[in-house]
Amino acid sequence: MNFYEQVYALVRAIPRGRVMTYGQIAGLISTGRAARAVGWAMRALPESTDVPWQRVIGRDGRITIVNAHAPKQLQVDLLRGESVVVIKKEGNFFVDLGQYQWHTE
DNA sequence: GGTTTGACCCTAA
DNA sequence: ATTAGGGCCAAAC
């Protein structure tokens, strides 16, 4: 199983209404700081996928997305659809990690 | 195989 | 506190 699939499997395991950070996912799969590689895997996802990519956010709870067919607003809508409170600040969107971050057992 | 590229993260100024 | 720069890891060239 390659790095992508491990990332995708882990993201799929995130419960509804919860989020994880890139660095956290990287730490669980590989040695610590493969956060960029996780983002790289996310960018490779097709438009239609069963992977809840919207639940993966930056270390500060910020939505850092630069994808044409998946604008930030879409990610915000999907999260709000899961009863997650998303705060808008200066054109960027943030999620309260202390409240919504999920940690594996 | 060396080089480049990122939906990141940490450190220093 | 806020901003700049460098480093990390895994694919694609």
Q: What is the pLDDT of residues A71-89, one digit of tens each?
A: 888 999 999 999 999 999 8
Q: Are A68 and A27 in contact (CB under 8 A)?
A: no
pLDDT in tens, A19-50: 999 999 999 998 878 999 999 999 999 988 99
Long-range contacts of A42-45 (CB under 8 A, 24+ apart): A42/A7, A43/A67, A44/A4, A45/A8
Q: Hey, which residues does A95 pair with through a beta bridge?
A: A86
In the predicted model, is pLDDT for residue A68 greater than 80? Answer: no
> Quick check: A88 CB within 7 A of strand B?
no
Name the protein residue, with chain letter, whose CA is nearest the C1' of C9: A34
Q: Record the pTM.
A: 0.91
In the predicted model, is pLDDT for residue A56 greater than 90? Answer: yes
- How many angstroms separate the CA of A83 from the C1' of B5? 35
